[in-house]
Structure 1
Amino acid sequence: MVVCFVCGNMTAGSNVTQLFSRSQRTQQTPFFPFLEYHDPAPGASPMGDDWSVDACFVCDALLAQQWESFERGRMPIGKRLYWLKRPSGCEIRQPVSQIELEEILNEHSRGNLDDYSDDEGGKSPESKPQDPPDDTPRLICYSCGKSDKDCPSMCPVHCKPSYEQLRTGVPYYPTVLDTDKSPGSKVVCESITFLCIGCLPKFPPEWHAVQKDFLRQESTQSVLPRIPLPEVVSCYTCGTDVST
């Protein structure tokens, strides 16, 4: 049984894989420079002279998947952040110097600089012109023709009694469709349109028959006992005596 350098789990020798911290020039093998600054998991063998460590199948698959994702996105080596499982107590060792760390991280980038440039001699691709913002109004007042660009307070109104109008508990405005339709305004399902807040009061609202019956019902009246107050109190603002 072999202990995984990364997570510390025991794994059969036949399932052990090699992870490298330096670029292998002879083959397209993933490499992970951060391994040089991690202590081996308890019981795991230290990093070999060829910059390799023993890893279980799970850690190898997890890191390889992240590597492939970074490669597809052409992420520079020095900017890659990996997620991995580490046993408790294993801290990251600080590099001998910042220069050494930067050299390790940039080693592969220097050797494969062309991998991160386009096919036109490393020239950055020309930026595509952005489409101009769409200023087309989405809503037009049925009555006056103002758009939601000029009048943000645009109200949807029902022009006929319907289940939806009854369900939402709002009135309908039967006289709206009797007026001339403004250019660009819309009537949805032949019963719903839009009015700006200035035109809405021009049209009298009507209620569904069921709503009228409900509104005619006498509401329950609750009488609360009067809270006793002194006969004269002083105004908090001006100090004038007020009779209660």
Structure 2
Amino acid sequence: MSRVPRLGLGTMGLDTPADATAVTTALEMGYRHVDTAQIYDNEAVVGDAIAAADTPRESVVLATKVWADSLAYDDVLRTTRESLDRLGTDFVDLLYVHRPIQTYDPSETLAAFDELVDDGLVGGVGVSNFTVEELDEALDVLEAPLVAHQTEYHPLFQRPELLEHAEKHGYSVVAYSPLSGGRVRDVDEVVSVAAKHDVTPESVSLAWLASKGVCSIPKASSERHLRANLDAVDVQLDDEDIAAIDAVEEEIELFPE
């Protein structure tokens, strides 16, 4: 795979049969990107939800992540196959290194990712929570193209150097927690832009990310929120709006290492 859909569904915390219904609803509503992870302990729920949807598996970009305690070469190969079993699929479109900590070793870990791509079990390689220096190192080691870097990104946690690096090297940035854990509704600059366009602050945050070419994976479980997030991609912000949000000075990192 080469590019990631502009909007996807984050599934951290969606781990019950009722949550599976939300994933199925999202796919039937038009979502084509679903993100999970080994450490979320919900791959089976997500897999069941995808199987239940009236949506061809081939049209869904399904992503999961290998957790930090399983990044040794053999562990990557073993746990990825276990993820495929739980997800009920023969392949995942995108496999991430969840965090470059604990057992992560670039030459060993990424060699296993390359092998999974060569074997047809993984469509593309992603990394998550990397610094620019770690991204450069990964690009030097990987044989397969880097498809995506998933990172926390929202109006209260901006890292423009990551966007510049992605643009330079031709991979996607995928933003988790794009709504600042709900805090965007308390950010004056975001609220002001929302009032100007008669939309919600959440929609503005997603539109701001989209204006930068960033893919977002907000979590949502209600049909109303799923629809609102999907519609937010069509919200058009002008340069003044974008500059106002770029200038937000308050900083909150929700998921530090």
State which structure, 1 or 2, has the greater radius of gyration over its C-alpha atoms: 1
Higher relative contact order (CA 8 A, sep 6+): 2
Point out the structure with the larger helix share. Answer: 2
Output the TM-score relative to the length of structure 2: 0.17
